[in-house]
Chain A
Amino acid sequence: MTGWLRFTPIVLLVLIVAAMLWRLANPPDTTVHSQMIGKRIPQFVLAAAVPGVQGLSSTQLADGKPKLVHFFASWCVPCIGEAPVLDELKKQGLTVEGIAIRDRPDELAQFLARNGDPFDRIGSDPESKTQLAFGSSGVPETFVVDGRGVIRLQHIGAIEAEEIPAIKAAAEQAR
């Protein structure tokens, strides 16, 4: 009886190591995912966030063409690193609308001047009400909205360069 029993601690070790390896490959996801995927975008009318660029309203997002809605802020540091990716997405023909949360016009203008402005329109969401209504809980986040105004995809965090094809594909599918 003691024969095979002596090997059970090793079996236990293997199981525990397997669980650890799984966890290392799948880091804990502390993000809050939007419950709004597959649902129509909420109604909103946002004033212009920066002088010279139009504000954004929900009706403009249901005009038959799929769009990207990008939540950001001038104080959001990863947004700086993400700016070239948004420029590239715009170059590849996607429309990028921006919603700036809890921000000030002069600082936003500085941010855009320094990092580029790929946005067609930028709405101002000073109290994050629209952001919350989208089911977004942080910045930067990007939503793919189809032509009828239905949310099709939520991308949490900065979009990496390698993810551009995937975002483009999602926008294609959202016709």
Chain B
Amino acid sequence: MTAETGLAALWLAAALSLLQLALGFAPGMSKSGSAPIRAVAVLQGGLTLFAFAMLVLVFATTDLSVALVAENSHSAKPLLYKIAGTWGNHEGSMLLWVTVLGISGAALAIFSRRLEERTFVAALGAQGALALGFFIFLLFASNPFARLDPPALEGRGLNPILQDPGLAFHPPTLYLGYVGLSVAFSLAVGALVTGRVDRELARAMRPWVLGAWVFLTLGITAGSYWAYYDLGWGGWWFWDPVENASLMPWLAATALLHSLNVLASRESLRAWTIMLAMIAFSMSMVGTFLVRSGVLTSVHAFAVDPKRGVFLLILLAFYVGAALLLFALRSGRLSEGPEFELVSREAALVGNNLLLSVILGVVFIGTLYPLFVEALTGAKLSVGAPYFDAVVGPIALALMALITIGPLLNWRRDSGERLKRLIIPALLGLGAFIILLMAVPQDGLLAKLGFGFAVALFPASLLPLLARKLGRTPLTTYAMVLAHFGVATAVAGMSISSLTTSETLIAAKPGEIVSVGPWSIRFDSIRPIAGPNWTALEATLYATRGGAIETLKPQARFYTDPPTETTQSAILTTLTGQLYTVVGQQVGDRWQLRLWWKPMVTLIWLGGALIAIGGALALLGRAWRGWRKAGVR
């Protein structure tokens, strides 16, 4: 019954989304105000959430009469992973997608108060339109509640590698990000329909974009760290098509965030902001399509048949095409904002948008290039790190230069007076660069420049706080400082670890001592051990660099069902870096060991976390400002 209830709720919600679409755009509806469409949006979101809850229930109780559960779950799974299994498959994760879409619409309906009514109604209508298409896909091509008759005796989804807490929470975090951007898309569509692109729109859109962006930043950072410790190769970003699919919405959302600030403060960059809002969610939809259609091969991809891929492609083409058409037809009506000069904060933010868009463009082209080449010439090729590092790196450096300068400029016109404060940071950066040039004579120019810019950005990001009464500085300023400081942190981590990582690859006998970087490591022993559903060969390593002796135990693990081998790396985290150890195969009486000493590598993810916290602070700061204003009668 649970499954049927869930399915019924989905059908109802789908019908409501159609109603929502009608209420949003039908002429003459504006007379009733926004109350009806708000109610519909809230109900639709609520029903979708209910349907999702039913699916979770069906997984939590391992209802084997539901095909999806029989395929992907198992009665012996721990409860946490039974629940996480709800979204660990195509249909379930698609339902999660639609649920976040519905809840975002409902939240927009409940919490948005300050937007002009017709724009608001049109935006909710657009949100309904988005939901409708995906409901149709879900109900007709990816029904999560399909029954299995007769019910299975046991589930088939007990792959232990997928039972990982990081893996369990990765999708919901990312989906809150991707699908949260739908609100920006809908608001942009609403604003184009009514022609009201102004600071009111920016202020209405901003918290949604901020919230989605914080989740995306966290999701991408966490995903990177998970891949780093789990895959055993010591790498933290592979430019895998699916990784790129998560990066592209983030790039667009970052540009949008900054553009919204211009629109909110100065009412400039109207067309750009609208376009970015549409591109950001379009990138989310493209990402969903790429992962589920089989168009790009990747370890991440779900196995889905091409018919579903075609369906998603048509949905995508329709939504993006309609939005672009609307933009083409209506953007001419948008009046341009007040002018600004070359040396001004607006100009710096235009530059910021430009650079982020170029990065988005080259990543997009690089990800799709193999597809185009094969379609046109039949040749098979792959585009990987050599391309992406070479094209994205220099632009990222230019972006860092802007981050040091931009926050110090006034709106509209700046004399450049305050830029003099950058002399010391610039000198520090230059100094760091020159030191690296001498200390690390071999290749790595990009990383050395990156570190130079990062060293300059550390103090430069704090400069907006200089000569201000810190107690009276708005929280949003602190948020910006923290986020930019986080960028410097992450880039510093990337540069230093790429320039100074030491690696040792050796076949050693137990008892031997090997070294990597400043570490001296004794390979003490290797012995078989067993876990609940695996056996492993565990090596014991004793590592020291002159001080205390640390123990590391990397494993070569064998799971029985399904039979798979994995490497479990052992990582030692210190203040100055990480010691990353992996054990490989036996070679005669020796064992392969791969050891890395990665100085400062943790700064990468610390930086990502700081950026996300900065975003959260900005959200908090704006909310606080709103509450305080509301409190003042």
Residues of A within 8 A of B (CB): 2, 6-7, 9-10, 13-14, 16-17, 19-28, 30
Q: Mark B365-377, 1 if CB is under 8 A from A, else 0.
A: 0001001101100
Chain B residue numbers with a CB within 8 Å of A25 are: 306
Given known A-B contacts A9-B324, A13-B321, A20 and B295 have beta carbons under 8 A apart: yes
B338 an interface residue at 8 Å Cβ cutoff?
Answer: no
Evaluate whether A17 and B313 lie within 8 angstroms (CB atoms) in the complex, with A10-B325, A24-B293 already known.
yes
**Beta-carbon contact of B317 and A6 below 8 Å:** no
Q: Which chain A residues border B372 with CB–CB below 8 Å? A: 19
Residues of B within 8 A of A22 (CB): 375
Given contacts A13-B317, A13-B320, A16-B368, contact A23 B375 (CB under 8 A): yes
B52 interface residue (CB < 8 Å to A) = no
Bound-complex Cα distance A19 to B317 (A): 12
Residue from the list B328, B368, B374 in contact with A7, Cβ < 8 A: B328
Tell me the chain B residues, 321-339 only, with Cβ under 8 Å from chain A: 321, 324-325, 327-328, 331-332
- Contact call A27/B294, Cβ cutoff below 8 A: yes
Ordered by A's residue number, 14 sampled pairs between the chains whose C-beta atoms are within 8 Å are A10-B321, A10-B324, A10-B325, A13-B320, A14-B321, A16-B368, A20-B289, A20-B309, A21-B313, A23-B371, A24-B293, A24-B306, A27-B294, A28-B374
Bound together, the chains give a CA A175 to CA B294 distance in angstroms of 40
Q: Chain A residues with Cβ under 8 A from B368's Cβ?
A: 16, 19
Interface residues of B (CB under 8 A from A): 289, 293-295, 297, 306, 309-310, 313, 316-317, 320-321, 324-325, 327-328, 331-332, 368, 371-372, 374-375, 380
The residue of chain A having its C-beta at the shortest distance from the C-beta of B321 within the complex is A13
| Shortest Cβ distance from residue B334 to the other chain A in the assembled complex, whole angstroms | 11
**CB-CB nearest in chain B for A15:** B372
Q: Name the B residues within 8 Å of A2 (CB-CB).
A: 332
Distance (whole angstroms) from the CB of B293 to the closest CB of chain A: 6
A159 CB → nearest B CB, Å: 21
Q: CB-CB < 8 A to B294: which residues of A?
A: 24, 27
Q: Which residue of B lies closest to A16 (CB)?
A: B368
- Within the complex, what minimum Cβ distance (angstroms) separates B248 from chain A? 13
Whether B332 pairs with A21 at a CB distance below 8 angstroms is no
Interchain CA distance A21-B293 in the complex, whole Å: 10
Once the chains bind, are A17 and B324 in contact (CB under 8 Å)?
no
B375-A13 in contact (CB<8A): no
Instruction: Tell me whether chain B's interface is mostly helix, strand or loop, or mixed.
Output: helix
**A52 CB to nearest B CB, Å:** 33
Contacting pair B331 A19 (CB below 8 A): no
Query: What is the CA–CA distance of A2 and B275 in the complex, to the nearest angstrom?
Result: 15
Whether B325 pairs with A24 at a CB distance below 8 angstroms is no
Which of B295, B321, B368 counts the most A-chain CB atoms under 10 A from its CB? B295
Given A6-B328, A13-B317, CB of A24 within 8 Å of CB of B371 = no
Query: Would B332 and A6 count as touching, CB distance under 8 A?
Result: yes
Question: Which of B310, B320, B321, B374 is the one whose CB lies under 8 Å from A21?
Answer: B310
Evaluate contact between B297 and A28: CB separation under 8 angstroms.
Answer: yes
What's the nearest-Cβ distance from chain B to residue A4, in Å?
A: 9
Q: How far is the CB of B616 from chain A (nearest CB, A)?
A: 33
Which chain A positions have C-beta within 8 A of B297? 28, 30
Distance between Cα atoms of A129 and B407 in the complex (Å): 68
Contact partners of A23 in chain B: CB under 8 A: 295, 371, 374-375
Q: Shortest distance in angstroms between A44's beta carbon and chain B's nearest beta carbon?
A: 31
Whole-angstrom distance between the alpha carbons of A6 and B320 in the complex? Answer: 14
Given A9-B327, A24-B295, output 13 extra A-B contacts at Cβ < 8 Å. Answer: A6-B327, A6-B328, A10-B321, A13-B317, A13-B320, A14-B321, A17-B313, A23-B295, A24-B294, A24-B306, A24-B309, A24-B310, A27-B306
Question: A9 to chain B: which residues have CB within 8 Å?
Answer: 324, 327-328
Q: How far is the CA of A25 from the CA of B295 in the complex (A)?
A: 10
Contacts A19-B372, A20-B295, A24-B309: A10 and B317 contacting too (C-beta < 8 A)?
no
Q: In the complex, A9→B271 CA distance in Å? A: 14
B294 CB to closest chain A CB (Å) equals 6
Contacts of B289 in A (CB 8 A): 20
Contact B313 A20 (CB under 8 A): yes
Give bound CA distance, A30 to B328, whole Å.
Answer: 41
A13 to B295, CA, bound (A): 16
**A28, closest chain B residue (CB):** B297
Q: For A3, give the chain B residue with the smallest CB separation.
A: B332
State the Cβ distance, B484 to closest chain A Cβ, in Å. Answer: 31
Residue of B nearest to A10 (CB): B324
CB distance from A141 to the nearest CB of B (A): 21
Tell me how far the C-beta of A20 lies from the nearest C-beta in chain B, rounded to whole angstroms. Answer: 5
User: How long is the Cα–Cα vector from A7 to B331 in the complex, in angstroms?
Assistant: 11
5 cross-chain pairs, A with B, having the tightest CB-CB distances, nearest first? A6-B328, A17-B317, A22-B375, A24-B306, A10-B324
Complex Cα spacing A28 to B316, Å: 22
CB nearest neighbor in A for B275: A9
Nearest residue (CB) in B for A23 is B295
- Residues of the B chain whose Cβ atoms lie less than 8 Å from the Cβ of A27: 294, 306
Kindly report which residue of chain A lies nearest to residue B286, judged by CB atoms: A16
**Contact indicator B371/A10 (Cβ below 8 Å):** no
Bound together, the chains give a CA A13 to CA B316 distance in angstroms of 10
Cα distance, A7 to B328, chains bound together (Å):
6
Which residues of A lie under 8 Å from residue B325 when comparing CB positions? Answer: 10
* A28 / chain B contacts, CB cutoff of 8 Å: 297, 374, 380
Smallest Cβ-Cβ distance to A17: which chain B residue = B317
Nearest CB in chain A: distance from B185 CB, A: 15
Residues of B within 8 A of A13 (CB): 317, 320-321, 324
Query: Of all chain A residues, which has the CB nearest B329?
Result: A6
Complex partner residue of B328 from A10, A17, A19, CB under 8 angstroms: A10
- Docked pose: A72 CA to B371 CA in angstroms: 33
- Docked CA distance A27–B309 (Å): 11
When chains A and B are docked, how far (Å) is the Cα of A151 from the Cα of B310? 37
Q: Find out whether the CB atom of B328 lies under 8 angstroms from the CB atom of A24.
A: no
Measured between beta carbons, the chain B residues less than 8 angstroms from A16 are: 368
Complex-state Cα separation, A16 to B310, whole angstroms: 13
- Interface pair B321/A20, CB less than 8 Å apart: no
Q: Which residues of B contact A26 (CB under 8 A)?
A: 375
Q: In whole Å, how far is A137's beta carbon from the nearest beta carbon of chain B? A: 16
Give the Cβ gap from A10 to chain B, nearest Cβ, in Å. 5
> Contacts A6-B328, A19-B368 known; A24 to B313 CB distance under 8 Å?
yes
In the complex, which residues of chain B have a beta carbon less than 8 angstroms from the beta carbon of A6? 327-328, 331-332
Bound CA span A21–B325, Å: 21
Q: With A10-B321, A27-B306, A28-B297 given, is the CB distance from A20 to B371 under 8 Å? A: yes
Task: Give Cα A57 to B372, complex, Å.
Answer: 45
From A2, A16, A20, residue with most partner B Cβ within 10 Å: A20
A6 to B275, CA, bound (A): 11
